[in-house]
Structure 1
Amino acid sequence: MIPDGCALAVRNGVVFVVGERGDIRSDCAETGVFANDTQYLSEFEVSVTDRDVPESGWDRLDRRAGPDGVTTVLVGAAPGEGRGAARRFLLKKDITVDGDVVTVETTLRNHTPAERVVDIELTAASDFRHVFECPGFFAARESVDRDVTASDRESGAELSGTSPDGTTRGAAIQLQGGQTVSVETGADASRATVERTLEVSAGEEVSVVATARLRPTRGRLNLSFDPSVSMASHPGLFDAAADTLRALLLPEGVPAAGAPRFVAPFGRDALLVGFQTLPFAPGLTRSVLTYFAGRQASSTDPETLAEPGKIPHEERRGDLPALGRSIRSPYYGTVDATPLFAALVAAYGEWAGEDAITDELYDAALGAVEWTIAAGDEDGIVRYEPHDHEYGLVHHGWKDSDQSIARPDGTAATPPIALTEVQGYAYRALRGVADLAASRGDGELAERLTERAERLQEAFDRKFWLPDEGSYALALDADGVVGAVASNQGHVLWSEIVPPERADEVIDGLLAPELLTDAGLRTYSAAHEAFDPLSYHRGSVWPHDTSIAAMGCARYGRDDAAAALAERGLDTLATGATGDADRWGFPELLVGLDDPDVDAGRALHPDACEPAAWSAGSAFGFVRAALGLDVKSGTPVAEPATDFGAGTGPDPSTVAEATIHCRGRRYAVRHSSDSTVVTPTCGASATRDSPDHDHLEVTTDG
């Protein structure tokens, strides 16, 4: 998603993308400081010039990128033409993001026996364009004329841009100890230059700090979560996943979908992260639910596809929505976020206890499930139409690219479309909210929702089943059955809409080589003509997709499948998270090839966001599946996949350890090669359950 040689840092919804030498430069369009879907700075460069040899320049020596920032190490180019000429300086640029402030600390070490004089120059520029106007991230939209200004201030300048809607955004830039030498406003951008001279003693180092403070300021969320999971075979993986989710956390209390182009609340993405991490970080799940309950639609708007009870697809910021150059925000062009929300409220109640569901969350879940019922036909089958809007989405499931839903021969599905996984989400929502209603004494509602769920399950099995394939269809459309086999079928296992007698056939289909690669599940079967391993959704591999299927296999007791998917997924995440010092986090998707030339299917897709929240969440989803974590009668249980992780890692006797949260108590889970133990920790609150449930041991083959 960002070019080779670039790296990024993200925190609190602010993204800093730098180029090869640790700066934002006008000659690399993908670099910049971004927040609220606005490119606040298109140039932010700290240049260092040796006065003795001003033409010598710099060569990159090292680069480290991570959730805490980006460090780029440069070495001064040789001052002469002779081989082995001394390189005088080591230059380090440390970039961090803290709230609305981006900091670049430039440290210079003099490696000569004499004092050196250097000139520091900070250049900054911006036209405050919307991220949708930035080339390299999207097919760039036509630019909007904004009124840009620049004014000097002590050791820096104030750059600002006012949109035609009257909104003003600004960036105050400053160079520590510097002097502003130029401030100018051009036709397209405001620009400023600040300079400072430094004397660097022999063998010593000096540092200078440049900052950019963005306005209007964004709030900060006081949400801390610290999921504790470790595996001997993948040291550090889960810490990296947790760090990534914290880095992507927005002030609104939800993880952004992914950087750099999707740093905004996305309903489906955040809700699935809530499912993946629920036993390990219930506070994150609750924060996600609270946010989207507050964004639930209460009226109908054909332009945004809002309908009472519906949960948003995304909430974009910046000026384009207000100017009519994008769909107004929030945008409700999704068919799956609403049943997923209701299902997650119910799942949260299972783990946290029904009394943890506030009246506000319960009412929001009721509204979501009532929308799901209203959106279905008499059998409960939920369909969608493409959004007839210049910027609307054609497809409203998680595979939402324009050509994602197709028959095996590649012909496009004809709307209206009923996706297979959406029926599963609806079923899970109906069953889950029925249980919540029963716990609140509303037996009539519980019975109505249960009957609706049973009718949907029967209709789904009758209409979607493909006897010749031994699986369910990808979708129904206006012309009948879209008989493609894809990874979507793993989602229906996760929802438990699949009758037990069908489950083994469906799971065996997922394990077939046409779908399963060393990196995980392809999004579309290689047996079909429409298969394209380099596409976005018709043959690529998405870690979150595989993690949901793994959790689904675990629900049906298929240890072999849960372990196979979890182990492939964890291996792939570990490769993606640690394979390149320039990159960090977890890639959104990978190419769907099984080919030695592309690292057995683990090659990063060129269109992938990195990091992506639901890919980081997948680490926890995979371990949920592999350990078989569930709640029974208010008590957490672990029923791990046989031989999961056996004989791997430096200490094969201990395969995995985790801390999980259930009904106000913390439990330690330890899975070894021959047993699994779930024990309340000494700091747990008073138990609600009988003493017999304080300690659980499950012996496994191994």
Structure 2
Amino acid sequence: MSPSMPGASGPATSVSEIGADVWPAPPARSGQRLFVLKEGDTFVVADAHGDITGEGDGLFHNDTRLLSSFRLLVNGVQPTLLSSAVGQDNAFFTANLTNHPLPPLGTTSTPQGVIHVERRRFLWDRRMYERITLVNFSDHPAQVPLQLLYDADFRDMFEVRGQVRSKRGDVAAEQQGDRWARLRYRGLDELWRSVVVSFSETAARLAERTAIYEVRLDSGERWVLYIEAGDEPAAPCAQRWRGAAARTRWQLRQKRRRGARVEASSRLFQAWIDKSKADLALLTTELPTGPYPYAGIPWFSTPFGRDAVVTALQTLWLDPSLARGVLSFLAEHQAQEISTFRDAEPGKIMHETRKGEMAAVNELPFGKYYGGVDTTPLFCVLAAAYAERTGDAVLIDTIWPALLAAVGWIEDNMLRHDGFVSYARAEATGLANQGWKDSHDSVFHADGSSPIGPIALVEVQGYAFAALEGLASLARVRGESSKSAHWADLARRLAHAVERSFWQEDLQFYALALDGSGTPCRVRASNAGHLLFSGLPSQERGRRVAQQLLSAAFDAGWGVRTLPSDAVRYNPMSYHNGSIWPHDVALCAAGIARYGERDGVVRLLDDMFEAAAFFGLRLPELFCGFARAAGEAPVAYPVACLPQAWAAGSVFMLLQQCLGVHIVAGDQVVLDQPRLPAGIESIKVAGIAVGTARIELNFRRRGKRILAFVNRRDGDRSTHVDVRL
């Protein structure tokens, strides 16, 4: 006999008539929204019911899925969903559910919709806490059969993403206590990985990865079950719940309070700002070297080099502490030797690090992987920008050897590749494309053919140019004049070479890349917007590129596409060939602002804001690049990370470019032709650290004019504000 399902007629069926070996399969999830929580190196992804079903979701720690199933059934069926949400501060997930008809208690049956079921969940200290509350709102007693189904497959993150392994480790037999069950796995790396599910109440039956409760509720009565999932048995209770909940909420609040505070006159725009800041707080992990933004959930909840550098650049004007943590971590993990398996060379900055079993046994090179051609110059760019923003000579002194090694790698790479920074993976296990568009089909010629490497990407030359200029500036401040002159000269020569080899006069645009023979990939792409961000192009050429990026071919109405609609590989549903990436839009906007198209920056910010409104004020990693149509929402990319650090940070870079804020360490703030987003009457940025001062900037709309002024200064009052209207 099957359990009663939603909409089924006839008398309710008791779960005792079913048997625990025929629990219903989880419903198909197509189109369902997933909900995430994160704390440290632990995160959980579940559906709107709070269930984990193993479809790319789970409870993860250190790139290993601990719980692959965690489902709640009431009388053998999934309860009806009323609502679910993660709070604005990202601390708690809550699902409100209710019952289907329940079996009789005596002569009275319990109808549908009278038992309220609340699931409330958070993470703290490598442990998932859950509280399940039942309340009987009927006029009669009710018998509520409750089942919790749990399992652990201990799959590596890359297995969850679809990687097939020829061999796995061994799953041990389940161990049980009165109120807990332990699942264990010994991997090929000889490490034991385990998860223990502990309960506050003794189950009527605890066996076969199932906990069954027969809960009797009088009218108006409440029943609470506390559950914890961690590496050791626990004694869940209300006191432990309250203590851990307070700590996780306090930690996230402290992270959100870092840096300056943005206050907008529009409630919806303010909610976007607040959600973006909360997402950055959620993704930021406190490492021994300082705060570090993990890239995104679920696939990239680990330190990435490129993503963290870009996120730090996006937020540098508001919160330099994130840049400090990123620089310190990356300097500590810089490559010291050659490894073709890891694409490592002395001086290179890390692309990605993983802690799972497959990385530990070298099935994949991502334990510590250096196959990113752009991360090393971006590391130097961030160091120079951080020094200019803060004047922190102590940190620069500390990481100066790492900066010398990084710029040494840049120079050596240029010498080996005809004066351009280029890449070609050393082994087939590495990434074929090693720029930010790292999918296999993201670099191509105008006819659609794939280039033969080594490949020199246009934006990477811009990063290298900015890195050399930045290092020249740092060396000049340090009194190392010969190094400064050498790097400045190398930057000039690189700029000339880029203008000569990448500029396509008939396209009035820069080529996407040069292939191994020096032939341009004559493809217009958003990569050129990053070149504008670096400041390499001449003013005239930069302005022409900016105008094209703002044209209908690129701007779909939701932001700049990665490829224009006339490109041969254009596909608005692809990962990199026509989609829209918020961080890409933000970097393009920074480049466009640099070449004078300030109104275009306002338009891109408005595009992103309106897209965010359709995505619950949380911009995803990317979304599809279909042209905007009246009354229609942007189209989601099905497996995008959400939240993603550099997507969350994009609003802050866009806002900085819109307001025209530039901060120079010690004593200067420049407000260059400030604009306000459409429909926003005023914005205040409070608590900006400039040297020893804390200043507050105010921007207000007065007719067609934007007024900008400093309302208050705390600390050193010598700070100079230069307003250029």
Q: Give TM-score scaled by structure 2 length.
A: 0.86
1:431-474, Cα deviation, whole Å (9 max, x unpaired): 11111111111111111111111111111111111111111111
* Partner in structure 2 of residue 662 of structure 1: 690
Q: Who is 2:125 aligned against? A: 99
Amino acid at match of 2:323: T
Q: Is the 8 A contact 1:342 1:366 kept in 2?
A: no
Provide Cα deviations, 1:202-238, integer angstroms capped at 9, x if missing partner: 1232221111014799xx9998325412333412111
Which residues in structure 2 correspond to 1:422-437 (within 5 Å)?
Answer: 422-437=460-475
Report how far residue 659 of structure 1 moved. 4.0
Q: What amino acid sits opposite 1:241 in the alignment?
A: S
Q: How many residues align?
A: 664
Compared CA separation, residues 681 and 302, structure 1 to 2 (3 A):
farther
What whole-Å deviation, never above 9, does each CA across 1:82-118 have from its counterpart, x for those lacking one? xx95532011111211221111211111011233333
Aligned mates of 2:460, 2:302 — CA distance in 1: 23
| Aligned pair partner of 2:344 in 299, 306, 309 | 306
Which of 659, 669, 679 in structure 1 is aligned with 2:710? 679
Quote the offset at 1:181 in angstroms. Answer: 4.0
- 1:608 Cα shift? 1.1
Looking at structure 2, the residues matched to 194 and 180 of structure 1 have their Cα atoms a distance apart, in angstroms, of 8
Per the alignment, residue 95 of structure 2 pairs with 72
The whole-number CA distance in structure 2 between the counterparts of 1:130 and 1:336 is 27
Within the alignment, does 1:566 sit opposite 2:598 as a pair? Answer: no
- Alignment partner, residue 186 of structure 1: none
Mark the CA change 1:300 to 1:458 in structure 2 (over 3 Å): closer, same or farther. same
Which amino acid in the other structure matches residue 467 of structure 2? A
Superposition map of 1:14-33 within 5 A: 14-25=42-53, 28-33=54-59
Q: Which of 502, 524, 527 in structure 1 is aligned with 2:541?
A: 502
Question: For the Cα contact (< 8 Å) 1:665–1:680, is it kept in 2?
Answer: no
> Is contact 1:157–1:180 with CA below 8 Å preserved after alignment?
no
Q: Which amino acid aligns with 1:239?
A: D
User: AA paired with 2:627?
Assistant: D
C-alpha deviation, 1:695, in angstroms = 4.9
Offset of residue 200 of structure 1 = 2.6
Q: CA deviation at 1:383?
A: 0.8
Question: What's 1:613 paired with?
Answer: 645
Aligned residue identity for 1:59: T
For residues 228-277 of structure 1, what are the alpha-carbon distances to aligned partners after superposition, in whole Å with 9 as ceiling and x for unaligned? 12333412111101110111123433212111111111100010000000
**Which residue does the alignment assign to 1:401?**
439
Q: State the alpha-carbon separation in 1 of the partners of residues 78 and 448 from structure 2.
A: 53
Task: Identify unmatched segments of 5+ residues in structure 1.
Answer: 50-54, 184-190, 579-584
SS of match in other structure, 2:568: coil
Contact 2:557/2:628 (CA < 8 Å) preserved in 1? Answer: no
* Structure-2 change in CA distance of 1:85 and 1:202 (3 Å): closer
Percent identity of the aligned residues? Answer: 30
Aligned to 2:144, what secondary structure does the other structure show? strand
> Match of 1:248, as an amino acid?
L
Q: Does the CA-based 8 Å contact 1:56-1:79 persist in structure 2? A: no
Report the equivalent of 1:187: none
Rate the CA distance shift 1:297–1:526 in 2: closer, same or farther, 3 A. same
| Aligned match of 2:421 | 382
Deviations 1:29-67 (A, max 9, x none): 223111211001112234344xxxxx6762111121352
> Among 564, 583, 586, which residue is 1:544 paired with?
583
Give, in whole Å, the separation in 1 of the partners of 2:346 and 2:413. 11
Structure 1 pair 283–110 and aligned structure 2 pair: CA distance change class (3 A): same
Letter in 2 for 1:242: K
Given that residues 89 and 111 in structure 1 are in contact (C-alpha distance below 8 angstroms), is that contact kept between their aligned partners in structure 2?
A: yes
Q: Output the amino acid matched with 1:72.
A: A
* Separation in 2, partners of 1:48, 1:261: 32
- Show the 5 A alignment for 1:322-341: 322-341=360-379
Quick one: structure 1 residues 460 and 598, their matched pair in 2 at CA, closer, same or farther if it must change by over 3 Å?
A: farther
Deviation at 1:140, TM superposition (A): 4.6
Q: Secondary structure at the match of 2:172?
A: strand
How far is 1:665 from its partner?
3.0
**C-alpha distance in structure 2 between counterparts of 1:641 and 1:414, whole Å:** 44
The match for 2:512 is 474
Q: 1:630 to 1:216 in 2, by over 3 A?
A: farther
2:494 to 447, 456, 459: 456
Q: TM-score normalized by structure 1?
A: 0.89
Residue matched to 1:52: none
Distance of aligned partners of 1:216 and 1:526 in 2 relative to their CA distance in 1, 3 Å threshold? farther
| Aligned equivalent of 1:512 | 551
| 1:203 is aligned to 2:238 | no
- 1:118-139 deviation line (CA, Å, top 9, x unaligned): 34433322121111112xx335
Matches within 5 A, 1:58-207: 58-66=79-87, 67-79=90-102, 87-134=113-160, 137-142=161-166, 144-179=168-203, 181-183=205-207, 192-207=209-224
Following superposition, the deviation at residue 547 of structure 1 comes to 0.1
Larger RCO of the pair (alpha carbons < 8 Å, separation 6+): 1
Paired letter, 1:594: A
Contact 2:543 2:596 in 1 (8 A): no
CA distance in 2, matches of 1:33, 1:460: 47
Q: Distance in 1 between matches of 2:712 and 2:544?
A: 40
* Cα deviation digits, residues 530-579 of structure 1 (max 9, x gap): 2111111111110100100111122233212222222222332343233x
Deviates more, 1:358-367 or 1:460-469: 358-367
Correspondence 1:631 to 2:663: yes
Distance 1:87 1:241 in 2: 36
For residue 642 of structure 1, report the CA deviation from its aligned partner: 5.7
1:247 and 2:282 aligned: yes
C-alpha change, 1:440 and 1:640, in structure 2 (3 Å) is: closer
Secondary structure of the residue aligned to 2:440 is coil
**Aligned counterpart for 2:68 among listed residues 42, 51, 61:** 42
- Name the CA distance, whole Å, in 2 between partners of 1:364 and 1:271: 15
